[in-house]
Chain A
């Protein structure tokens, strides 16, 4: 019966979301405050029912109810309980239910934390979120119902979860990623509501900004976790494959990053208004495109389990409807937003200003996204047009993405020091001199020590560029921080006092920018100094790889809960000292008769040792892959720092104010005049 309750709860949630889509919007036009307020209660009601539905599906998994098609396909009595729970979102139907649940969570959050917004705005935002949940509710109920039964002949044993997904990574990665994807629906709803109302000013930007930043934080962490999971679980030590599914998550992230920056200009200076709206629409459209690519089965990759054209067409139609109608609205109402801007007459900035730096940031990020979009969709388009079956490889993506990232990093160093409206070129030159010299010498000298031997042959230009760019961002950021703390007097005690005075958004920016430097360091150095050897070994063999000696001690057979495994014991030595003992496994999962490589690794900040069992050869011999990966941890450390930076910015005191403030909220003297200006814009715009 539990499944039927879940199904009914889902139908009730759909009905509530239909009401949520229509009533508050109608109320906002007719001016009925009760109708508008209804959106808040409907959003919370919808969350309750989607949560009930989700709980029912989880219960069906935990109780091994194999009469449900979805449970039978993706679970097994032997599956450990934590994986039974995470198997709920392990395949198509359940992951869509997770999508719907997270959308309901965001809607309810907007309903709860929007008391300080004008009712017209918050009711319209909720109404648009309701319309999106109608789309997804219909999609689940019509094409991908997780509660469908196999009756009367239901199986007694399930087909088990795909072994690749039986991992801690699957428990945390999809919910985080979806929180990010779906979080952009709030940004989208704010943008569409602004277009409908024609009110789009600095106050709007201040309201929307925490929502956009939080979605971006989740997406950042989700992508980082995904990359980390691929690294240790896919078994071959890669951390990014330019796989279409990865691209599908990177594209909204790039646009989201552009949006996070452009909305700061809109908030502080009242500029980039239409552009910010367009980015908000684009970020959510790309999230939907990602869902379409992953869930329609048009791609062939690990994540695309489904292959059902009906589903693809539904999402494609939904995507077309959302993108088409929002862009149409943008075309019709965009000029109104522009008029406000002309009335406010705020924005003029010179060629060398913070605005210009952020514009450069946006241009680079959006171009990078466009390149990835072309590379991802080109094989699909070529296939449709019958140009042959093509796959676009990593060289294409690296060719465009790497220089753009380096350009971003160079600009990032300057941007920290640049001022609103106009920056003195002399000042930049002066501030940049010391960091430039430090970065240059670090870039030229450090590669000598990072390579195995000091010789021209092992001196890597890629390492020089990576180190140069990373140190540049790092030193420029630290110099700016030092000067901010230095303000007033140079005594140590006053510096400490100044630490508390700097706003959260400033710390957030610093943390995220340094995170980029750390991540780039990891990407560059691990790809240059990575040493990989595929070798044939029998127990007792020793092989040297990049200063380490790996000894294949023994091979055992071990029995897991739902698999059997050959487990090797490999000891790693450095200078005859034992560093680590690694136990890589080759598992065979019984239910699916599927073989899985379970790599073993010894993690460290400066290097990972990574060992995986390839395949058994003749006799006792095994094909074994041995990896030494310097600085690979920095990639995910940097990713987490970027996410933490976003979090610090969300927690900035400025956004916790309950009422839409008209007084100036000055954080640092350099920004206060700009903010006063922005406030003035807001007042002028509101008065009209």
Chain B
């Protein structure tokens, strides 16, 4: 082979190999660090993986917030209108966290199907509902309606 061509071929092989390596790494990192969103119903039904970092969202159930007397441990339930998911967290809750409002928790689901959250997010202002939560609530509502009409038949 012509030496110049050989040099070019080597360069091309090097470029392709490094590009493949980088793309592989990006895909791997995206998989590792991409957190999926699940609704309470999906988690209770076991559809969501356990001990994997994920996010869950819904409305905070009224009168479900329990606090510890002497630490920052807190427990509450969220719902998508179908199922209720228990969430436990140690730390400070965000400013706009309130019962009856939307919240998103990220963390891992343990074997009792309780989400051990490392972070709680609430909406940014009083008019805003996170789109994931809104979608999940709508979906759940539709399914409920469908189930109702089904049962009348």
Task: Write the residues of chain A forming the contact surface with B, with a CB cutoff of 8 angstroms.
Answer: 162, 164, 235, 300-302, 367, 371, 374-375, 378-379, 382, 388-393, 395-396, 399-400, 534-536, 592-597, 614-615, 617-618, 623, 625
B29 and A399 form a contact (CB under 8 A) = yes
Report whether B29 and A388 are in contact in the complex, using a CB–CB cutoff of 8 Å: no
Selected contact of A534 from candidates B69, B72, B96, B125, CB within 8 Å = B72
Total CB contacts across the A-B interface at under 8 A: 82
The answer to whether B30 touches A374 (Cβ under 8 A) is yes
> Is B144 an interface residue when CB atoms closer than 8 A count as contact?
no
Candidates A535, A592, A594, A615; contact of B93 at CB < 8 Å:
A615
Question: Which of B33-41, B77-85, B109-117 forms contacts with chain A?
Answer: B33-41
26 CB-based A-B contacts, threshold 8 Å: A300-B130, A374-B26, A378-B34, A389-B132, A390-B35, A390-B36, A391-B34, A391-B55, A393-B33, A393-B53, A395-B29, A395-B32, A396-B32, A399-B29, A400-B26, A534-B72, A534-B90, A534-B91, A536-B70, A536-B71, A592-B125, A594-B95, A595-B95, A597-B95, A618-B69, A623-B92
By beta carbon, the residue of chain A nearest B95 is: A595
B1-46 interface (Cβ within 8 A of A): 22, 26, 29-30, 32-37
Contacts of B22 in A (CB 8 A): 367
Whether B67 is near chain A, meaning CB under 8 Å from some CB there, is yes
Q: Which of B121-139 contact A (CB under 8 A)?
A: 124-126, 130-132, 135
Known pairs A371-B26, A374-B26. 5 more at Cβ < 8 A? A162-B125, A393-B33, A396-B29, A534-B91, A595-B95
Residues of B with C-beta under 8 A to A534: 72, 90-92
Which B residues are CB-close (under 8 A) to A391? 34-35, 37, 55
Counting chain A CB atoms within 10 Å of each CB, which of B70, B71, B125 scores highest? B125
- Bound-state Cα–Cα, A300 to B132, Å: 10
Q: Which residue of B lies closest to A587 (CB)?
A: B95
Chain B residues, CB < 8 A from A390: 34-37
Tell me the minimal C-beta distance from B132 to chain A in angstroms: 5
Cβ-defined contact, B35 with A593, below 8 A: no
Q: Which residue of A lies closest to B93 (CB)?
A: A615
- Compute how far the CA of A617 lies from the CA of B70 in the bound complex, rounded to whole angstroms: 9
- In the complex, what distance in Å separates the CA atom of A384 from the CA atom of B132? 13
Q: Are B72 and A623 in contact (CB under 8 A)?
A: yes
CA distance A617 to B125 in the complex (A): 23
Chain B nearest CB: distance from A336 CB in Å? 25
Partner among B36, B70, B71, B125 whose Cβ is within 8 Å of the Cβ of A594: B125
Q: Would B93 and A614 count as touching, CB distance under 8 A?
A: yes
- Given A300-B130, A617-B67: A392 touches B30 (CB 8 Å cut-off): yes
Closest partner residue, chain B, to A162 (CB atom):
B125
Contact residues in A for B131 (Cβ distance below 8 Å): 300
Q: Residues on B close to A: CB < 8 A?
A: 22, 26, 29-30, 32-37, 53, 55, 67, 69-72, 90-93, 95-96, 124-126, 130-132, 135
Contact present for B67 and A593 (CB under 8 Å): no
Across chains A and B, which 7 residue pairs bring their CB atoms closest together, nearest first? A614-B92, A389-B37, A396-B33, A390-B34, A595-B95, A395-B33, A393-B33
**Closest beta carbon of chain B to A427's beta carbon, Å:** 27
**Do residues A302 and B30 form an inter-chain contact, with CB atoms below 8 A?**
no
Of all chain A residues, the one with the shortest Cβ separation from B130 is A300
Query: Given A300-B130, A625-B92, A389 and B33 touching (CB < 8 A)?
Result: no
Contact of A400 among B29, B53, B70 (CB under 8 A): B29
Chain B residue nearest in CB terms to A613: B92
- Complex Cα spacing A390 to B35, Å: 5
Query: How far, in whole Å, are A595 and B123 apart by their CA atoms in the complex?
Result: 12
A387 to B12, CA, bound (A): 34
Shortest beta-carbon distance, B138 to chain A, in Å?
Answer: 14
B72 near A392 (CB under 8 angstroms)?
Answer: no
C-alpha spacing A89/B96, complex, angstroms: 24
Contacts of B71 in A (CB 8 A): 536
Contact call B126/A592, Cβ cutoff below 8 A: yes
Max chain B CB contacts within 10 Å: which of A235, A391, A400?
A391
The verdict on A536 contacting B72 (CB below 8 Å), with A378-B34, A391-B55, A614-B93 known, is yes
B32, B35, B124, B135 interface centre (most CB from chain A within 10 Å): B124
A396 neighbours in B (Cβ, 8 Å): 29-30, 32-34
Q: What residue of chain B has the Cβ atom nearest to residue A388's Cβ?
A: B36
> Which of chain A's residues have a CB closer than 8 A to the CB of B37?
388-391
A300 to B102, CA, bound (A): 14
A681 to chain B, nearest CB (A): 27
Within the complex, what minimum Cβ distance (angstroms) separates B106 from chain A? 8
> In the complex, what residues of A have CB within 8 A of residue B69's CB?
618
Bound-state Cα–Cα, A593 to B67, Å: 24
CA of A379 to CA of B132, assembled, Å: 12
In the complex, the answer to whether A389 meets B95 with C-beta atoms within 8 Å is: no
* Residues of the B chain whose Cβ atoms lie less than 8 Å from the Cβ of A595: 95-96
**Closest-CB distance, A357 to chain B (whole angstroms):** 19
Q: Once bound together, how far apart are the Cα atoms of A536 and B90, in whole Å?
A: 11
Most buried by A among B22, B30, B92, B93: B92
Contact between A392 and B36 (Cβ–Cβ < 8 Å)?
A: no
CA distance A623 to B95 in the complex (A): 12
Contact A618 B67 (CB under 8 A): yes
Q: Measured between alpha carbons, how far is A371 from B132 in the docked complex, in Å?
A: 25
Cross-chain contact B34 with A392 (CB below 8 angstroms): yes
* In the complex with contacts A534-B72, A623-B72, A392-B33 CB distance below 8 A: yes
Contact between chains at B92 and A615 (CB < 8 Å):
yes
Tell me which residues across on chain B come within 8 A of A594, comparing CB atoms: 95-96, 125-126
* A315 CB → nearest B CB, Å: 19
List the B side residues contacting A399 at CB < 8 Å: 29, 33
Report the Cα distance A241→B15, complex, angstroms. 33
A614 contacts which chain B residues (CB < 8 A)? 72, 92-93
Q: How far is it, in angstroms, between the C-alpha of A487 and the C-alpha of B35 when the chains are bound? A: 57
For residue B53, which residues in chain A have a CB less than 8 angstroms away from its CB?
393
Q: CB-nearest residue of chain B relative to A397?
A: B33
Find out whether the CB atom of A596 lies under 8 angstroms from the CB atom of B95. Answer: yes
Distance of A535 Cα from B70 Cα, bound (Å): 10
Partner of A389, one of B32, B36, B70: B36
Shortest Cβ distance from B91 into A: residue: A534
Cα-based distance from A302 to B94 in the complex (angstroms): 14
Q: When chains A and B are docked, how far (Å) is the Cα of A592 from the Cα of B131? A: 21
B79 shortest CB reach to chain A, Å: 18
CA distance A617 to B92 in the complex (A): 11
Enumerate chain B residues within 8 angstroms of A162, measured Cβ to Cβ.
124-125
Chain B residues within an 8 Å CB radius of A389: 36-37, 132, 135
* Residue in chain A with minimal CB distance to B73: A536
Whole-angstrom distance between the alpha carbons of A618 and B74 in the complex?
Answer: 13
Q: Which residues of A contact B93 (CB under 8 A)?
A: 614-615
**Complex Cα–Cα for A535 and B92 (A):** 9
Which residue of A has the minimal Cβ distance to B37? A389
Residue of B whose beta carbon sits closest to that of A392:
B34
A379 to B36, CA, bound (A): 10
Closest to A393 in B: B33
Complex-state Cα separation, A343 to B93, whole angstroms? 66
Q: Which residues of A contact B95 (CB under 8 A)?
A: 235, 594-597
* Minimum Cβ distance to chain B for residue A613 (Å): 9
